[in-house]
Structure 1
């Protein structure tokens, strides 16, 4: 056992700091003698080392305490992640030192690549520190999230160009990402997961009965009166018992859930494994028929936009539809507290006009030439409103 003075001499951490760690419950001594001396064993010294690693990657003490006291905390896993982050930090410092040396040697350069994305990366790291449990829930473990950050770093130049195109500056992009991380859109996914989990594990007795009844015979006509009555009951119960479907955007969320049965390969596979091949799309078709034309307004507006590709993209008629799309998106962004950037339509226009994936998906959904039409309409709208 070591006294607080001995621990201070060994680690370089001041006695005052060790007393403070004790006060806030971050590092408690193993024993306090009758005369008030704090004593620490080897395990406590290892814990202190872990704390210092966290401090080295700029995590506040309050958050270090939360992380280390979490039921998910794994010392070995934490050390692996800390090592990765320290290596990245060292690489960053090496780049800055190299830039300084070039400047000292008189090399004139206007290359600010070393600074471009640092604020954005800081946001990603902050999110990890602030939402440890959420990251584990979304990615499975913190290591996968670190891999995502490293992947992003490897595409730094590409992402920087995208960020400037959509948000104007890296600073605005980083601020928007921070806003979006704290938005309601993440909790929306969790609410969807609650419904999906209940369906797969049949936790809702009535829905269990209805879904099983619906897939008893997949050869039946999804539009039959019998199946449409089941679809009505499923819809009504889902909208009554699950927040995701009775909140202000509930109808739009239910539409998205129905689409999951039709186009989401992972969800379709899960349903087919549970009820039999073809069950996923069968359920989707049945629910979609009952849903009728109750599509989200944003979907209706996009269909309206591409209903006649012979129109002039710059015409008042087409531009008024794009303006409606813009207004509808602003309402949604305000509701979920999302920042899409001041140059969003310029960014989207480029995707519709030049991104092969966007073009393929859009043209398959609406017909050949629609991606180009939407892109040109969006581009004209943005340019007209940013003269």
Structure 2
């Protein structure tokens, strides 16, 4: 489908589709010689999920982070979105019922207590929304910040020293292949360090973190202070580590 057809199908503006393309959120599968964007069926499914996330209140930047996460799964996301939309529908039904009863009360038809009037006004964040953010969003990064803030000054210094040692050692190995034994030993140190001190990182989450090092300029800028190009080098090494560990687990399982 061309951009105009997609815009009409989803009832959104062509400008919106151009913006999604510009920020790398939804890139058309092809561009014709005449310069027309052409969207595939896979593109349309991606757009469908973007619009569902938007309807559920997720900002574009957060949607981009989640959908670019290597562990993001379209089917699982649709299931979660369905749960969130049903939950939203139930909330709206309760709020409509609340308004009806309030109007009846104001017209003197019924008595409606304050407790009854406000009991259906629960606006807390959906548990499914939290799950989506936890699995594919920035929550893991937020957890690290929270953990650091809860440590004593001495503990922060000790942790920072260990952190620096690992990054400095990796920076000194930048001329090696990310697949080399020396590099993989240090990357395992980083993986173990994160799991021991911050959160339980699965292999997929560790891989995703490595991708953030090169996708998010805040990470890249911070890591490259230890040595230019270190963020990209670590990202590649973390990818190798993930693949090798998964292969090892798979081989062990078959044995």
What TM-score, normalized to structure 2?
0.50
Which structure would you say has the larger Rg?
Answer: 1
Q: Considering Cα pairs closer than 8 Å and 6+ residues apart, tell me whether 1 or 2 has the greater RCO.
A: 2
What TM-score, normalized to structure 1?
0.34
